[in-house]
Amino acid sequence: MTPVLSVRNLSRSFGAIRAVDDVSFDLAPGELLALIGPNGAGKSTCFNMLMGQLRPSAGKVLLKGQEITGMRPRRIWRMGVGRTFQITATYASMTVVENVQMALISHYRRIYAPLPYATRLYRDEAMDLLETVGMEDQADRHCAVLAYGDLKRLELATALAHDPFLLLMDEPTAGMAPRERIGLMQLTADILNSKGISVLFTEHDMDVVFAHAHRVMVLNRGQLIANGPVEEIRADPRVQEVYLGGGTVFAAQAAGAHDA
Ligand code: ADP
Ligand code: MG
């Protein structure tokens, strides 16, 4: 089967720093793939190249076999690649359901719909998406008053409004309490599995990674040093050396230390 995403010899330098150095991997349909690594490893740089925010110095990115290297973010998004951000992006002045409606309007390109009409546009579909993430009872609340975990679920609903086949999630559980993280990731994994959406995510919390990823890749100083099933990664001595540093990094991350 053609991989959903293929990355070949992807590199990006900033001056003398090789932020991403000859990275190659495939993402299979329906796979939940985690990209982990210490601070400064190159995770965000890699992500930004996949979404078209940053030009690679070398290498290729293919989406279902079609090269997308150097394409603009909007175009890649139109091809069915969704993204969620470390800093949650919602319109605070709008209600929960309006945020999802906006995402649907954008997806169907009805941006010129007159406003009174827009308030009803795709409301039923938006409510279905809110039900999917368990937020239908909060539909008419303003985003400004939502708890952080609810904002994260809303962000997931707006990403789903675009009907992506691939979702790139940059630290989906950043800033959440440990129990909340597991809950959000469980919900996310269930929805994505049931819809057959493939996912590449970066994540700090190793409990989340080991509980939900199908496969884990480890980036260190721009290079992929390991790529395999969860159990293999957990036992890999190179990973333990780079990543666990005798266990202290693990502990710090579980406590919620932050990525840059
Ligand atoms: P991670 O997300 O794994 O923490 P990053 O991709 O943010 O790592 O950074 C990888 C390396 O590239 C770091 O050394 C960082 O300082 C450097 N870097 C990232 N973005 C830029 C930039 N825009 N200009 C210069 N250096 C950068
Ligand atoms: Mg980062």
C-alpha of residue 210 to centroid of ligand 2, in Å: 19
pLDDT at 252: 38
Three-state DSSP class for 49? helix
Q: Is residue 75 domain-shared with residue 111, that is, in the same domain?
A: no
Domain CATH number, residue 232: 3.40.50.300
The protein residue whose alpha carbon is closest to atom 26 in ligand 1 is 14
C-alpha angle 20-23-26 in degrees, rounded to nearest 5: 135
Q: Are residues 95 and 216 in the same domain?
A: no
Q: Give me the pLDDT at residue 176, please.
A: 85
Distance 99 CA to ligand 1 centre (A): 31
Ligand 1 proximity of 43 Cβ (cutoff 6 Å): yes
Q: Are residues 171 and 252 in the same domain?
A: yes
Around ion ligand 2, residues with a beta carbon closer than 5 Å are: 43-44, 259
Cβ proximity of 121 and 105 under 8 Å: yes
CA distance 235 to 39: 21
Residue 19 counted as domain residue: no
The answer on 114 and 243 residing in a single domain is no
Distance CA 184, CA 160 (A): 15
> Of 117, 132, 163, which closes a domain?
163
pLDDT of res. 89: 66
Residue found by looking up tokens 């400064």 in the block:
40
Q: For the chain, give the percent of residues with pLDDT over 70.
A: 88
Residue found under tokens 């929960």: 96
- Which of 50, 44, 53, 38 has the alpha carbon at shortest distance from 8? 50
Rounded to the nearest whole angstrom, what is the distance from the C-alpha of residue 171 to the centroid of ligand 2? Answer: 9
pLDDT score of 117: 64
Q: Kindly state whether residues 178 and 127 are assigned to the same domain.
A: no
User: By the 8 A CB rule, do 32 and 192 touch?
Assistant: yes
Mutate to test the pocket of ligand 1, among 11, 13, 14, 204 (most ligand atoms within 8 A of CB): 14
Residue 191: its pLDDT value, please? 93
Please tell me the total count of domains within the chain.
2
- Is 32 a residue whose pLDDT tops 60? yes
Residue 49 lies in a domain: yes
Per-residue confidence (pLDDT) for residue 251, from 0 to 100: 37
In a domain, 178, yes or no: yes
Q: What is the pLDDT of residue 119?
A: 74
Confidence of residue 179 (pLDDT cuts 50, 70, 90): confident
Residues 252 and 185 in one domain: yes
Cβ 40 under 6 angstroms from ligand 1: yes
d(CA 8, CA 224): 12
The pLDDT of 128-142, averaged and rounded, is: 96
Is the domain of 174 the same as that of 138? no
| Mean pLDDT for all residues in the chain | 87
Are residues 195 and 255 both part of a single domain?
yes
Q: Count CA within 13 A, CB hemisphere, residue 197.
A: 26
Nearest ligand to residue 220 Cα: 1
In a domain, 11, yes or no: no
In a shared domain, residues 105 and 72: no
Do 219 and 202 belong to one domain? yes
Q: What is the pLDDT of residue 85?
A: 66
Which pLDDT does position 240 carry in this prediction?
81
State which of 163, 198, 224 marks the end of a domain: 163
Q: Which domain holds residue 229?
A: 29-54+68-80+166-260
Provide mean pLDDT across the span 76-98.
82
pLDDT one-digit tens code per residue, 216-260? 999 999 999 999 999 999 888 888 887 665 444 443 343 444 443
Q: Whole-prediction pTM value?
A: 0.86
- The structure tokens 């040093």 sit at 225
Residue 252 lies in a domain: yes
Assess contact for 98 and 162: CB atoms under 8 A. no
Q: What is the pLDDT, as a whole number, of residue 108?
A: 86
Q: Please tell me the distance between residue 27's alpha carbon and the centre of ligand 1 in angstroms.
A: 23
**Distances in Å between the alpha carbon of 253 and those of 79, 217, 223?**
34, 17, 21
Q: What is the largest CA-CA distance in the chain?
A: 60
171 ligand 1 Cβ < 6 A: no
Of 144, 163, 182, which residue constitutes the final position of a domain? 163
> Residue 7 falls within a domain, yes or no?
no
% of the chain residues with pLDDT over 90: 62
Q: Examine the domain organization and report whether 135 and 181 are in the same domain.
A: no
Asked whether residue 60 is domain-assigned, the answer is no
Strand-pairing partners, residue 170, are 202
- What pLDDT shows up at residue 253? 42
Closest CA to 102 of 145, 133, 64, 143: 143
Q: How many CB atoms lie within 10 A of CB 217?
A: 22
CB 50 within 8 A of CB 5: yes
Q: Give 120's pLDDT tier (boundaries 50, 70, 90).
A: confident
Claim to verify: residue 170 and residue 141 sit in the same structural domain? no
- 59 occurs within a structural domain: no
Contact indicator for 41, 167 with CB cutoff of 8 Å: no
pLDDT in tens, 159-175: 999 999 999 998 888 88
